[in-house]
Amino acid sequence: MIQLPGGPVLSVPFFYFALAFSSLLTLWLLYRTFSRLRRARWVEDTPTSLVRSAAQGLVELQGWVEAGGHEPLISPLASEPCLWYRFTVEEYRRSGKHREWRTVEKGQSDRPFLLRDATGECWIVPRGAEVHPRLRRRWEGNRRWPLSPTSQTRLLGALIGQRYRYTEEWLREGDPLYALGWFESRGGGREAFDTQRVARQIISDWKADYPNLLARFDRNRDGQLDQQEWQQVQAAAASEAQRRSNQAALQPVVHSLGKPPYRGLPFVLSDHHEEQLSRKLRRQSAGSLLGMLLAGMAAGWLWLGLLRL
């Protein structure tokens, strides 16, 4: 047994568990305090760009959500038509006097959707994004997968020994959308087209069907390509590469926004207004700071008990 300052006595296993848990929780809340604050500063300090004139790299866009020609998704728990969703299924578990909600299912969609503003449209690739949706629903039931989002079966679940809690969030078509992430544009001749590399690849492909290559360029029909015939092969490949380059330049420009390729840069999506999102992030930072102080006090108290051994 270990006696703590003030008189409480804890068993050795429970003491070391509480010490490790409170110490790790303090460190995690410290990290969360500064990460939430940094996210808020990114949101506040990054100027809003228009899709048509946005620079390549980290940008902030604001517009509204569109499907881009796709059929709406159906959320798996509440069957809500949407363009993005995230869900969690938790089971209420009892172990002696211990009670807790434990996650048994979770997931989210990663199908791209459109952000449209007054100047154009941009595909949003949501994989890896930190999403802050306004639309959120939570309810309970006695099945692992709910039959209806309105059926409250807390009493029935308690009677038969099974109780589940469902949480679902989603973005709908037509909702406002704030996006902070990595912006890229493709098509319209924006990408560097290496015609020499493409010509070499074309020749390599032609060599794979050598009989057909001979039929096209072996003018004297001697079964091989001499120097002059080989020059004709190279000229034809260069012409084909240039044709492909011209064709690529005619393709429409497609804009996309996704997770930045560099660590530390944000990728945030939200249907909150920019100022509302900033306040939400700052509240989360302040709440984490308060939790860190409480967890730190508990950890310090336990460390004092350890030093007295």
Spatial CA neighbour of 284 closest among 297, 268, 299: 268
Which pLDDT belongs to residue 137?
A: 93
Burial 261-294 (b: 16+ CB within 10 A, else e): eeeeebbbbbbbebeebbebbbebbeebbebbee
The answer to whether 46 and 180 have CB atoms below 8 angstroms apart is yes
Number of Cβ atoms within 10 Å of the Cβ of 121: 16
Which pLDDT belongs to residue 139?
A: 93
The answer to whether 2 and 9 have CB atoms below 8 angstroms apart is yes
| 22: exposed, middle or buried (Cβ count in 10 Å: 0-12, 13-18, 19+) | buried
Say what the pTM is. Answer: 0.66
Alpha-carbon torsion (158, 164, 165, 168), positive or negative: negative
Query: Dihedrals φ, ψ of 136, to 5°?
Result: -150, 135
Distance CA 39, CA 284 (A): 11
Which pLDDT belongs to residue 43?
A: 78
Instruction: Record the tokens describing residue 284, joined without a space.
Output: 């989360």
Which pLDDT belongs to residue 7?
A: 62
Tens place of pLDDT for every residue, the chain, 309 residues? Answer: 666 666 666 677 777 778 888 889 999 889 888 887 887 887 787 888 999 889 999 999 999 999 988 899 999 999 999 999 999 999 998 877 778 899 999 999 999 999 999 999 999 999 999 999 999 999 999 888 886 555 555 555 455 568 999 999 999 999 999 999 999 988 765 555 678 888 889 989 988 888 888 888 888 888 788 888 888 889 999 988 888 877 766 667 889 999 999 888 899 999 887 777 777 778 888 898 898 888 888 888 777 766 666
Find the largest Cα–Cα distance for the chain. Answer: 104
CA distances from 211 to 204, 207, 217 (A): 14, 9, 10
